[in-house]
Amino acid sequence: MKKLRVAVVGMGLQGQRLVKAIDASRYATLAAVASEREPGSFEAVLKDKTIDAVIIATPNDKHAKQAIAAARAGKHILCEKPLALSAQEGRRILSATKKNKVKCFVNYHLRVHPEVLRAKKLVAQKKLGHIASIEMLWAIGNYGEKKLPPLPAHMRWRESVLAGGGTTSTRGVHLFDLLRFITGSQVVVVGGSSDATKSRVDQTAITLLRADDAPTVVTTSKLMPGADNRVVIYGSKETLALREVFMASPHDMYVSVIDHFAQAIRGKKTPLATIEDGIAADALAEAFAKSVRSR
């Protein structure tokens, strides 16, 4: 089987991780990389007719523009999360992919972990009974720290308000997507609270949602030492706790994502987040932000 020829756009930490995942993939091969440090490299990728797909691993505020350009060039797309800075931007990407008949997926890599896939199956089969409530927590921090050490220069965009940085865009959207994926439910935001200000992104955020009729609490933070990162699903028959997914090797999950991406391009059904899933997660993040602003 011919391997999918993939280019990675953005060579920060995430781009480097994805290059390593492609190298380990059975179904894809690295055709090129593009970086802001090399002017014209992205345009060269788009013009190269031997490249089948692009993986966008640039700062969040560049996703929409680059994804639309890739779609217009006829390239399939795997975009780092979040898909865009807003659901409206996401819908513009969707329009471009439909018009140019290309496929787009979002790298919500937690979906491919066996623990998550098992949980999804158990919920679908009603093995847990009626879902009464769900708790989700994903945080980082070191004991005794009063504040996080500064990010390396190439990662400081993650603390930029303009780039949609903060714990919600870093981990919160992962959990929003995971909630939708595991439960298969319609999810709505009921309320939210965070420590964000007009000039500083959120470092701790709590969101109250409803997955159909199940009250759900999602907590994310950059400042919670010793956090018990977990997803707990309380059912009328059984309670299911997921912890291993947050301790697993990201590399292994990225390799799985790349393999699934290559197969999805060929029409195979996979657990990957579709562009519609990406828009839905962005819409939840927007609703959370609106709730925080309006108190």
Please tell me the predicted confidence (pLDDT) of residue 151.
67
Please tell me the predicted confidence (pLDDT) of residue 204.
94
Residue 264 backbone phi and psi in degrees, to 5: -65, -35
Please tell me the predicted confidence (pLDDT) of residue 43.
98
CATH number for the domain running over 110-247+275-294: 3.30.360.10
State the CB neighbour count (10 A cutoff) for residue 73: 17
Q: Using CA of residue 191, residue 193, residue 199, residue 200, what is the dihedral sign?
A: negative
Q: Which two tokens stand for residue 67?
A: 């994804």
Torsion region of 35: left, alpha or beta (phi above 0 gives left; psi -120 to 50 gives alpha) = beta
Residues 6+ apart with CB under 8 A from 266: none
Q: Using CA of residue 15, residue 21, residue 26, residue 29, what is the dihedral sign?
A: positive
Strands 204-211 and 239-242: unpaired
**Please, are residues 212 and 183 in contact by the beta-carbon 8 Å criterion?**
yes
- Give this prediction's pTM: 0.94
DSSP calls for 231-273: EEEEESS-EEEE-HHHHS-HHHHHHHHHHHHHHHHTT---SPE
**Residue of 44, 224, 14, 41 whose CA lies nearest to 138:** 224
Collapsing DSSP states into helix, strand and coil, what is residue 6? strand
CATH 3.40.50.720 applies to domain 4-109+254-273: yes
Please tell me the predicted confidence (pLDDT) of residue 45.
98
Please tell me the predicted confidence (pLDDT) of residue 147.
63
Measured between alpha carbons, how far is 221 from 205 in angstroms, rounded to an integer? 6
pLDDT tens for each residue of the chain, 295 residues long:
799 999 999 999 999 999 999 999 999 999 999 998 899 999 999 999 999 999 999 999 999 999 999 999 999 999 999 999 999 999 999 999 999 999 999 999 999 999 999 999 999 999 999 999 999 999 987 655 666 667 677 667 667 776 777 899 999 999 999 999 999 999 999 999 999 888 888 999 999 999 999 999 999 998 887 889 999 999 999 999 999 999 998 999 999 999 999 999 999 999 999 999 999 999 999 999 999 999 8
The domains of the chain are located at 4-109+254-273, 110-247+275-294
Q: Is 192 buried (19+), middle (13-18) or exposed (0-12) by CB count in 10 A?
A: buried
